[in-house]
Amino acid sequence: MKITSNYTKTLFILGVATILATSSCSETEEVIPVDDIIGTWTATDVLVDITYNNLSAYDYWISQGATPEEATYQVGYQTRGFGTYIPITIEFLSDGTLTGISGTIGDETGSPFNSTWELSNDRKLLTLDGIEGSVIMLNKTGLSFQLVFDSDEYSQELMTYAMTLTYIK
């Protein structure tokens, strides 16, 4: 009887585990089909955050002897190129290429560009021309992703750009 009892308990536990595993799968995040990214997207917001060795850009320039006005100007100068001259429209094509217009949000003119794109299988990484970005949100009508990259363009210190772009379809 003890063997049957252990066997029954084992079957019961396996049954419960199977039910839990099956029900938890249905509650996971919805998998967004890759087709949802195909189409034309228009930028609605851009946020640029610059740090130098974990210091904000403003605090970095103050530490270098800049006045508050000079630090504010320098931060504005550094973010101007990445903060306003961005891909204002992007058309993701199904062949892994994209076309778009770079400019200022709300501007009707700009510079055309071509690029490549790849969306990871788990829909958490979007790679544009080899630069990997983290997908914050992607659904049929909204896309938000963050690109983080390093540069030494404005100083001898390595600075990190974190640019978050938001688009609507």
- Each residue's pLDDT tens digit, 32-50: 566 789 999 988 888 888 8
pLDDT at 65 over 80: yes
Q: Is there a contact between 143 and 133 (Cβ–Cβ < 8 Å)?
A: no
Domain of 139 in residue numbering reads as 34-168
| H-type alpha helices, the chain | 2-26, 57-63, 68-83
Same domain, 105 and 154: yes
Same domain, 59 and 125: yes
Tell me what pLDDT residue 134 has: 94
Same domain, 17 and 98: no
Same domain, 23 and 104: no
Same domain, 58 and 70: yes
**118/129 Cα distance (integer angstroms):** 9
Give the N- to C-terminal CA distance of the chain in Å, as an integer.
Answer: 65
Percent of the chain with pLDDT strictly greater than 90: 35
pLDDT at 135 over 60: yes
Same domain, 18 and 76: no
pLDDT at 97 over 80: yes
The amino acid present at 120, given as its one-letter code, is S
Least confident interval from 21-25, 101-105, 153-157: 21-25
Residue whose C-alpha is closest to residue 92's, from 164, 145, 50: 145
Tell me what pLDDT residue 34 has: 63
Same domain, 119 and 146: yes
Buried residues in 127-150 as b, exposed as e (16+ CB within 10 A): ebeeeebebeebeeeebbbbbeee
Same domain, 9 and 43: no
**CATH code at position 142:** 2.40.128
Torsion of CA 129, 133, 138, 142, to 10 degrees: -70
Same domain, 66 and 109: yes
- Number of domains forming the structure of the chain: 2
Same domain, 91 and 115: yes
The mean pLDDT value for 81-109 works out to: 80
Same domain, 82 and 150: yes
**150/124 Cα distance (integer angstroms):** 21
The mean pLDDT value for 127-141 works out to: 91
Work out the burial of residue 90: count CB atoms within 10 Å of its CB; fewer than 13 is exposed, 13-18 middle, 19 or more buried.
buried
